[in-house]
Amino acid sequence: MSAHPFDTAIALEPQGEGAWQGHTSPAYANMIGPFGGITAAQALNAVLQHPRRLGEPVAYTANFCAPVADGPFLALARPARTNRSTQHWIAELRQGDQTVLTATAVTAVRRETWGATEVPMPRVPGPQDLPPPMRRGRVEWINRYDMRFVEGGYPAAWDGSHAEDSRTQLWMRDEPPRPLDFASLAALSDVFFPRIWRRRATPTPIGTVSMTVYFHAGAAQLRRAGSGHLLGQAHAHGFRDGYFDQTAQLWNEPGELLATTHQVVYYKE
């Protein structure tokens, strides 16, 4: 059986303490360079692979410094601080002598406590009640995800029509299906198409500059997500002078909140 394309894409070959070689994956190619979610997952994987890692990811921030060129990259991760139950990481991806991504992560050993969710999963039709994707995406990475839009799909036409808000709801999972883990959850956090396209139906050049994922899920919630769909909901707060933000939530099919994620995106107008 051949490896899942996601596993192939995030595979890292150890190069000594805290360093790995990775390689961009044609399966996750975007218009220019790779899908940002896969790049973020590659850097997170360096933290996950580190022999000194303590616990599971709680917070992860990736900053996209420059387009990643097709080919190899060096992934670096070092624990900047290790406490009794938390650990702080600094990571980078480099190509040649250039930094293409910077990242920080917090990992922690989690203990059961009182809990609550303030954003119940919206009541929407299930993934089985919605049509699967019908046509191949114009960029390759789109074909690595099964996306079923509930609300706020791609603009039907680039006709410059203005939407009043930027909300999108969709069911999404890896294609082919793959059991959810922290790396794939990080990548799924970046699946939402740019909020400015949703608002303006205009083919505006964009690029995510910084993305943060808060992992509400531990091992139990990941297990209950399995290889099923996640419901994702995203919206923007503001667009101004070349940058907009996006805030999103991801739930597993049983309705548990798995991640909240935020990003700021450059746009050219």
Interface pick for a copy of itself out of 54, 99, 124, 154 (rule CB under 8 A): 99
Interface pick for a copy of itself out of 199, 232, 252, 253 (rule CB under 8 A): 199
Contact flag: residue 128 with a copy of itself (CB under 8 A) = no
Contact flag: residue 216 with a copy of itself (CB under 8 A) = yes
Where does this chain touch a copy of itself (CB under 8 A) — which range of 13-21, 27-35, 135-143, 233-241? 233-241
d(CA 154, CA 71): 30
Tokens of 43: 């850097």
Decide whether 5 or 232 has the Cβ nearer to a copy of itself.
Answer: 232
Contact flag: residue 224 with a copy of itself (CB under 8 A) = no
φ, ψ at 77 (rounded to 5°): -145, 135
Contact flag: residue 95 with a copy of itself (CB under 8 A) = no
Largest pairwise CA distance in the chain: 55
Interface pick for a copy of itself out of 49, 86, 95, 143 (rule CB under 8 A): 86
Interface pick for a copy of itself out of 122, 218, 226, 228 (rule CB under 8 A): 218
36 closest CA partner among 4, 9, 13: 9
Contact flag: residue 92 with a copy of itself (CB under 8 A) = yes
Decide whether 143 or 202 has the Cβ nearer to a copy of itself.
Answer: 202
58 closest CA partner among 86, 18, 92, 93: 86
Q: ω into residue 155 within 30 of 0, thus cis?
A: no
CB atoms within 10 A of CB 161: 12
Decide whether 20 or 267 has the Cβ nearer to a copy of itself.
Answer: 267
Contact flag: residue 80 with a copy of itself (CB under 8 A) = yes
Contact string 107-126 vs a copy of itself (x = CB under 8 A): -x-xxxxxxxxxx-------
Contacts 24+ apart (CB under 8 A), 2-6: 4/174, 4/176, 4/178, 5/144, 6/38, 6/41, 6/144, 6/174, 6/178, 6/183, 6/184, 6/187
Contact string 48-77 vs a copy of itself (x = CB under 8 A): ----------xx-x-x-xx-----------
Interface pick for a copy of itself out of 69, 104, 133, 206 (rule CB under 8 A): 104
Q: Which residue has the tokens 């923007």?
A: 236
d(CA 166, CA 87): 36
Please report which helix (H) or strand (E) contains residue 8, including its range: helix 5-10
Where does this chain bind a copy of itself (CB under 8 A)? 58-59, 61, 63, 65-66, 80-81, 83, 86, 88, 90, 92, 98-100, 102-104, 106, 108, 110-119, 165-166, 199-200, 209-210, 212, 214, 216, 218, 235-243, 245, 247, 249, 257, 260, 262, 264, 266-269
